[in-house]
Amino acid sequence: MFPFRKKSAPIIGIDVSEAAVKLLELSHRGSTYQVESYAVELLAPNSVAEKTINDIDAVGEAIARVVEKSGTKTKNAAICVAGSSVITKVINMPAGLSDDDMESQIQLEAEQHIPFPLDQIALDFEVQDEPEEGEGDGEVEVLLAAARSEIVDNCIASLELGGLNAKVVDIEAFTIENTIKWISQNFPSGVSTDAIAVADIGSRSTTFSVLEDLKVIYSRDEAFGGAQLNEEIQRRYGMSSEEALIARKSGSLPDDYETEVLEPFKENLISEISRALQFFYSSSQTTDVDILVVAGGCASIPNLVSLIEPRLEIKTIIANPFLKMNISPKVNKKTLTNDAPALMIACGLAMRGDG
């Protein structure tokens, strides 16, 4: 249930995080995209834990609400599973096999590479490089991807409960590649795309990825996220979770919020990104990255770039996939811009409808 092949029918991207369901619908307009619809719906606590859907009913109901809120008429959807839930492996196979022969051979190979019974996994594959005509049969590299069937089934069931058809169950790293490939076209002048770091700061965890030649070659999850900021606001000012969130968004927190709560959180955030970078450098021959892309809800915190760049000595930008896209008149441009850094995964999923 990982259709690597592109789909031509319109597809909505549904990103289910630990805090919210995000919906994004794109259409292709010439050399660019147009945002046709988008919406965000908060999730009940513990509906999703460690990027895995636990409560299908709660997530399905949230999907139904986000679909209604967005106004989309599209029913086909793409969703993704976290990289930590997926096993990927590149294997060599004889070139020139028919699709049926390739599939049969893949089943045999998978038994050697996947540490679960085959009847308990969802499996897909993609030939990476077809040989050029005249090069002979030889071998081709084939990318295998597998996840526990239960994880994939929960994604599909949640979409169906929300009134959608699951057309693609993707892998988080591939959605990041889609979005970063698009964003990289608008990197600052002179910035290379050889090595790109991405810090996607979620509610409970931060996914730190590194792309070389626009392919994810490293990914690590850190137990740090925006929920820690919300919890500190609750503790210090005696607010409920919902009150803290509303106060943050409306800017109605007490005068000492900036110095006593927000600044320490920013320092912790920068330290976490720095630590993630050091983990990457220690496990790789790469000693430097060209640019850091900060995504997720916390990326909208004011003046983050001006703090990160001098500390880490890396060119830093806030993810905004919609910078060069057209926006439908039905979409609120201001809220879309505010939510843009948190829509990186949804954007990568919505792009699966292109082709």
DSSP code string of 83-103: GGGEEEEEEEEETT--HHHHH
pLDDT digits (tens, 9 = 90+) for 14-72: 999 999 999 999 998 888 999 999 999 999 989 998 889 999 999 999 999 999 999 99
Locate 249 and state its tokens: 């968004």
pLDDT score recorded for residue 116: 79
Q: How far apart are CA 293 and CA 224, in angstroms?
A: 17
pLDDT score recorded for residue 7: 46
Nearest to 225 by CA among 286, 154, 301: 301
pLDDT score recorded for residue 355: 47
Cα end-to-end span (Å), the chain: 19
pLDDT score recorded for residue 5: 45
8 A C-beta contact, residue 280 and residue 286? yes
Please give the model's pTM, rounded to 2 decimal places.
0.89
pLDDT score recorded for residue 132: 59
Q: For CA atoms 228, 229, 230, 234, give the dihedral sign.
A: positive
Q: Which domains are present in the chain?
A: 85-150 (3.30.1490.300), 192-314 (3.30.420.40)
Q: How far apart are CA 304 and CA 297, in angstroms?
A: 12
pLDDT score recorded for residue 144: 84
CA distances from 350 to 2, 36, 76 (A): 15, 11, 10
8 A C-beta contact, residue 23 and residue 72? yes
Task: Name residues of the chain where pLDDT drops below 70.
Answer: 1-9, 129-137, 354-355
